[in-house]
Amino acid sequence: MDKIWAKVQIFAINILAIVWRPGDESDDWCSNERSTINQLLHRALLLARYSSPMAAACFHGHLSCASSPASSNLGLVLSRKYKPWPASTFHLIVGQELVTRWGFQIKSSNGYPPNVVSSQKEEQYTEHFKVEQELESTVSITVVGASGDLAKKKIFPALFALFYEDCIPKHFTIFGYARTRLTDEEMRNMISKTLACRIDKRANCSDKMEQFLQRCFYHSGEYGLEENFSELDRKLKEQEGSMQCLAQIVGRLANRLFYLSIPPNIFVDVVRCASRSASSPTGWTRVIVEKPFGRDSQSSAELTQSLKQYLTEDQIFRIDHYLGKELVENLSVLRFSNLVFEPLWSRQFIRNVQLIFSEDFGTEGRGGYFDNYGIIRDIMQNHLLQILALFAMETPVSLAAEDIRNEKVKVLRSMRVLQLDDVVVGQYKGHTKGGRSYPAYVDDPTVPKGSLTPTFAAAALFIDNARWDGVPFLMKAGKALHTGRAEIRVQFRHVPGNLYKRNFGSDLDKATNELVIRVQPDEAIYLKINNKVPGLNMRLDRSNLNLLYAARYPIEIPDAYERLLMDAIEGERRLFIRSDELDAAWAIFTPVLKELEEKRIAPELYPYGSRGPVGAYYLAAKHNVRWGDLSSDNNS
Ligand SMILES: *[C@@H]1O[C@H](CO)[C@@H](O)[C@H](O)[C@H]1NC(C)=O
Ligand SMILES: *[C@@H]1O[C@H](CO)[C@@H](O)[C@H](O)[C@H]1NC(C)=O
Ligand SMILES: *[C@@H]1O[C@H](CO)[C@@H](O)[C@H](O)[C@H]1NC(C)=O
């Protein structure tokens, strides 16, 4: 049903009636349409907007056909028990089908004009309603854990960027929630430091920033206390204000999004409080959670179970910010909209696939959280595995979220459970280079002495389905390595009966094509091809067919969080992880994680800033793979 709303000015009276006039309708239209009207009156509300635009109230009224059959008036009668109505503007919303045909008027119950003591002519108190505009929904985004690092560095800036790009609903408010006691003003100061303007649109940025900050509020409370969330609820309602009331009538809505930027051990507490005390009575309530989703199959299942006590699956948005990266998203575009790739996308042409993630810094004093999880849980089991699934899935029925996720789950469920001898773990040790010394992982004061937590891991995975049978998918992730990058490398098979075999000498590997999808830094896609060096002799060379995003698309590539937040607001679930997906992902890694811990397998030490432990080479060699990122001609 399309909805309308109307606005009318009324004055101080005790009772007022809103009267619909049927226009040309027959005299008994009121009785004829009584049942429709009754349905309508059920939901009819009037809304008063007082002098403070924030304070608004809803009043239920009832609609009745006037008693005199001769009168074809229908009235919505509202009463307020004690106080007279203050002078205010009322918004009236009713179902459009029923109302558009009629003009409607406002009358006081006693027949006198609403605002006068003495009677005046009818025209003076009759005001015709006009349809004003389509009603919009509101969205309130509560960042739980607002004083944390992630919130400050990523979430607020991403929200601002969305606002800046007009990608956020018009009526939005942002709440920070944390234990620290801060005023709204203090929070605004805190986040204003991290907001940045898009380089390509600097103009009027500070105005925009100011507008944005005016929509930011703060509420302090405990994470596990429902009272504190009820207070939040009250503040949210205040902000949602009038829109809240409208929403109740028209079925459009005050929506609420909670972003849990907090340690996983308090997820459930917050979700309980938020869902019981601060969920939206009218619109949707969604919760974004970030990894880690448990430590293994069992704890992940428990977490899901506990969350589902309070939320349904479609309210939970499990975020993997890697999936929000522009290029990962474009992986599907690349595959499914280019004829030249999809036919090659199988064991027939692809020799191996490498998923590489490296950071060129260590834990730097923040290893406390990391030590509990290790690199396999932190990066491999989620980011890299998600990318792998997206890479290897069959063509989905459509681009709808459920279709894509169904395909991803199929891939994950076809994967072999990872074996210990297909895993290499490492940990970085101290190193001195160029007069500077770099600390070992265990030197980090937040890391327990003698920790065996891996900061590096390499693994060989296999997908036992028709498309990928026998193709090794190698993963490598590590901290404190020589570069920071994330990329997917696809090495194709040798050209059968290569005419130019002689030109490559014995190293045929050098002659194979390689497709590289670099996620960071500098998003790029390039294909290594063989090429003849110009000149009289036959010299072959490798060169890159290169799509460097920054060069081709000179706009700023949005941060992953922007996309994910926008998707969560719009309810687009493609980039979020479903619980069966999570189960399947854990099933692959849990046994090996258990074994590593039970056998207390010592990680191989590698120097800070190096290329990682030697074991990774042997692992690759065992599967007849050469790491693409370490080969000598890897100049980009
Ligand atoms: C900046 O603001 C001024 C005044 O508010 C306006 O006239 C101008 O068009 C704005 N520029 C941009 C790029 O939005
Ligand atoms: C949480 O609620 C309790 C009880 O209403 C209140 O005493 C306390 O101050 C609140 N906590 C914070 C941090 O506001
Ligand atoms: C990547 O995806 C974005 C939308 O997510 C699209 O605008 C862009 O054109 C895509 N790029 C390529 C190379 O497919």
pLDDT digits (tens, 9 = 90+) for 210-240: 889 988 999 999 999 999 999 999 888 877 7
Mean pLDDT of the chain: 74
Give the residue whose CA is nearest to atom 1 of ligand 2: 228
Residue 38, pLDDT > 50, answer no
Contact 18, 5 (CB under 8 A): no
Q: How many whole angstroms from 393 Cα to the centroid of ligand 3?
A: 19
Q: What is the mean pLDDT of residues 282-304?
A: 88
Determine how many CB atoms are found less than 10 A away from the CB of residue 421: 10
- Alpha-carbon span 93 to 148, nearest angstrom: 42
What pLDDT score does 167 carry? Answer: 84
Task: Select from 144, 228, 230 the residue to mutate for testing ligand 2; criterion: most ligand atoms less than 8 Å from CB.
Answer: 228
To the question of pTM greater than 0.85 for the whole model, the response is no
Give the residue whose CA is nearest to atom 3 of ligand 1: 204
219 alpha carbon, closest ligand = 2
Q: 317 - beta bridge partners? A: 288
What pLDDT score does 616 carry? Answer: 93
Residue 283, pLDDT > 90, answer no
Q: Which of 556, 577, 554, 574 is nearest to 566 (CA)?
A: 574
- 332 CB within 6 A, ligand 3: no
Residue 474, pLDDT > 80, answer yes
Q: How many whole angstroms from 453 Cα to the centroid of ligand 1?
A: 54
- 329 CB within 6 A, ligand 3: yes
**585 — pLDDT class (breaks 50, 70, 90):** very high
What pLDDT score does 328 carry? Answer: 65
Contact 489, 514 (CB under 8 A): yes
Q: Which of 91, 219, 383, 494 is catalytic?
A: 383
What pLDDT score does 87 carry? Answer: 36
Residue 54, pLDDT > 70, answer no
- Alpha-carbon span 43 to 63, nearest angstrom: 10
What pLDDT score does 116 carry? Answer: 32
Is 60 considered catalytic here?
A: no
Highest mean pLDDT among 61-70, 142-151, 362-371: 142-151
Give the residue whose CA is nearest to atom 5 of ligand 1: 204
Task: Select from 201, 204, 207 the residue to mutate for testing ligand 1; criterion: most ligand atoms less than 8 Å from CB.
Answer: 204
What pLDDT score does 228 carry? Answer: 92
Q: How many whole angstroms from 330 Cα to the centroid of ligand 3?
A: 6
For the chain, which domains are there? 3-125 (no CATH), 138-290 (3.40.50.720), 323-496+578-630 (3.30.360.10)
Q: Which of 378, 369, 325, 371 is nearest to 486 (CA)?
A: 325
- 396 CB within 6 A, ligand 2: no
- 203 CB within 6 A, ligand 1: yes
Give the residue whose CA is nearest to atom 6 of ligand 1: 204
Task: Select from 330, 518, 547 the residue to mutate for testing ligand 3; criterion: most ligand atoms less than 8 Å from CB.
Answer: 330
What pLDDT score does 229 carry? Answer: 93
Cα 562 to Cα 211, 279, 473, 636: the distances in Å are 18, 23, 30, 28
What pLDDT score does 164 carry? Answer: 85
- Which tokens belong to 565? 């937040």
**332 — pLDDT class (breaks 50, 70, 90):** confident
- Of all residues in the chain, the percent with pLDDT exceeding 70 is 68
Cα 34 to Cα 63, 101, 108, 222: the distances in Å are 10, 16, 22, 51
Higher per-residue confidence, 632 vs 163: 163
200 alpha carbon, closest ligand = 1
For residue 257, which amino acid is it? L
Lowest mean pLDDT among 291-295, 386-390, 482-486, 528-532: 528-532
Q: How many residues does the chain have?
A: 636
Q: What is the mean pLDDT of residues 591-611?
A: 93
What pLDDT score does 469 carry? Answer: 94
Give the residue whose CA is nearest to atom 4 of ligand 2: 227
Residue 324, pLDDT > 90, answer no
Q: How many whole angstroms from 133 Cα to the centroid of ligand 1?
A: 26
- 199 CB within 6 A, ligand 1: no
Higher per-residue confidence, 567 vs 124: 567
Cα 335 to Cα 36, 205, 518, 609: the distances in Å are 53, 38, 15, 35
Atom of ligand 3 nearest to the CA of 330: 1
DSSP codes joined into one string, 540-606: EEEEEEEEEHHHH--SPPPPHHHHHHHHHHHT--TTB--HHHHHHHHHHHHHHHHHHHHTTPPPEEE
**pLDDT, tens digit, 9 for 90 and up, residues 113-138:** 443 322 233 333 333 333 333 445 78
Residue 91, pLDDT > 50, answer no
Give the residue whose CA is nearest to atom 10 of ligand 3: 330
Contact 475, 386 (CB under 8 A): no
- Which tokens belong to 496? 């059968």
Contact 73, 45 (CB under 8 A): no
What pLDDT score does 462 carry? Answer: 96
Residue 153, pLDDT > 60, answer yes
Atom of ligand 2 nearest to the CA of 179: 13
Q: What is the chain's Cα-based Rg?
A: 31
- Alpha-carbon span 496 to 472, nearest angstrom: 20
- 126 CB within 6 A, ligand 3: no
Residue corresponding to tokens 């108190």:
125
- Of all residues in the chain, the percent with pLDDT exceeding 90 is 31
- Alpha-carbon span 393 to 390, nearest angstrom: 6
Counting Cβ atoms within 10 Å, is residue 626 exposed (0-12), middle (13-18) or buried (19+)? middle
Give the residue whose CA is nearest to atom 13 of ligand 1: 203
Q: How many whole angstroms from 419 Cα to the centroid of ligand 1?
A: 61
- 206 CB within 6 A, ligand 1: no
- Which tokens belong to 58? 């809803």
**357 — pLDDT class (breaks 50, 70, 90):** very high
399 alpha carbon, closest ligand = 3
- 204 CB within 6 A, ligand 1: yes
Higher per-residue confidence, 468 vs 340: 468
**pLDDT, tens digit, 9 for 90 and up, residues 233-268:** 988 887 776 444 444 444 446 889 999 998 888 899
Give the residue whose CA is nearest to atom 11 of ligand 3: 330
Give the residue whose CA is nearest to atom 6 of ligand 3: 330
**pLDDT, tens digit, 9 for 90 and up, residues 419-466:** 999 999 999 999 888 888 889 999 888 889 889 999 999 999 999 999
What pLDDT score does 402 carry? Answer: 84
- 238 CB within 6 A, ligand 2: no
Q: How many whole angstroms from 182 Cα to the centroid of ligand 2?
A: 13
3 state DSSP class of 626: coil
Contact 304, 580 (CB under 8 A): no
325 alpha carbon, closest ligand = 3
197 alpha carbon, closest ligand = 1
**337 — pLDDT class (breaks 50, 70, 90):** confident
Query: For residues 193-214, b (16+ Cβ closer than 10 Å) or e, as one string?
Result: eebebeeeeeeeeeebbeebbe
Higher per-residue confidence, 80 vs 584: 584
Q: How many whole angstroms from 267 Cα to the centroid of ligand 2?
A: 19
Q: How many whole angstroms from 331 Cα to the centroid of ligand 1?
A: 38
Give the residue whose CA is nearest to atom 1 of ligand 1: 204
Lowest mean pLDDT among 6-20, 299-313, 468-482, 537-551: 6-20
